[in-house]
Amino acid sequence: MQIPSALLLLALAGCLPSRTPVSAPSAAHADSGLSNLVARISADSPRLVRLSSRETGRLEGDRVSLMGDSVVLNTGAGMRAIAIVKVDSVWIQTTAARIVGIIAAVPCALFGAWVGGFIGGDPDGNPSPQREILFPIIGMLGGGAVCGAVGAGVGSLIPLWRLEYPRPSEDATEDPGGSASFREVEIR
């Protein structure tokens, strides 16, 4: 019973999103990176997008596309165009389905493995070595799948904003090691 639980924990730990710092792209690749990102977002299904710039502030809309050297965003007030060089950041709305599904699946999978181990090892139920191994695995998979699906459904109702493009800061400097300095990004 210890081995399936340990394997489950290792597998689920690899699925969790990492908390690595967001680094700004170099100034030489900033405009082409933004152009590629906008092309990729416009090819996807419609999703909410936030663009921010010092001149226009924060704009939010459901369709984004490229038109010449401008990014065009369909907002509630109509189409708004911002020059690519003026865009400071691009955020995309996602949901918390994956993380909530994982958080819900882990305890249910562990509980399912425990219940399966209890049922498979019950001396009154004609125990066998195969049942002692098989029942915890079935309990872990069944419990994790059911709770993970419910958690993902609940998580899909929780909106999150993910930073896709940070404008390189003017104060980004090179250190003697040659790597660009990092700037912390606060997500609200």
pLDDT in tens, 49-73: 888 888 888 888 888 878 888 888 8
Joined tokens for residue 164? 């896709």
Joined tokens for residue 5? 């639980």
Instruction: Report residue 148 CA to chain centroid gap.
Output: 16
**Domain positions in the chain:** 2-15+97-155, 27-95+159-166
pLDDT of the residue at 45: 61
CA torsion sign, 59 to 162 to 146 to 105?
negative
Q: In what order do the strands lie in the sheet with 57-67?
A: 78-83, 70-75, 57-67, 49-53, 89-95, 159-166
In the DSSP assignment, the letter for residue 19 is: -
Where residue 123 falls among pLDDT bands split at 50, 70, 90? Answer: confident
**Low-confidence winner among 86-100, 132-146, 147-161 (lowest mean pLDDT):** 86-100
Where residue 4 falls among pLDDT bands split at 50, 70, 90? Answer: low
Q: Which residue carries 């921010």 as its tokens?
A: 52
Angle at 92 between CA 46 and CA 155, to 5 degrees: 90
Class of domain 27-95+159-166: mainly beta
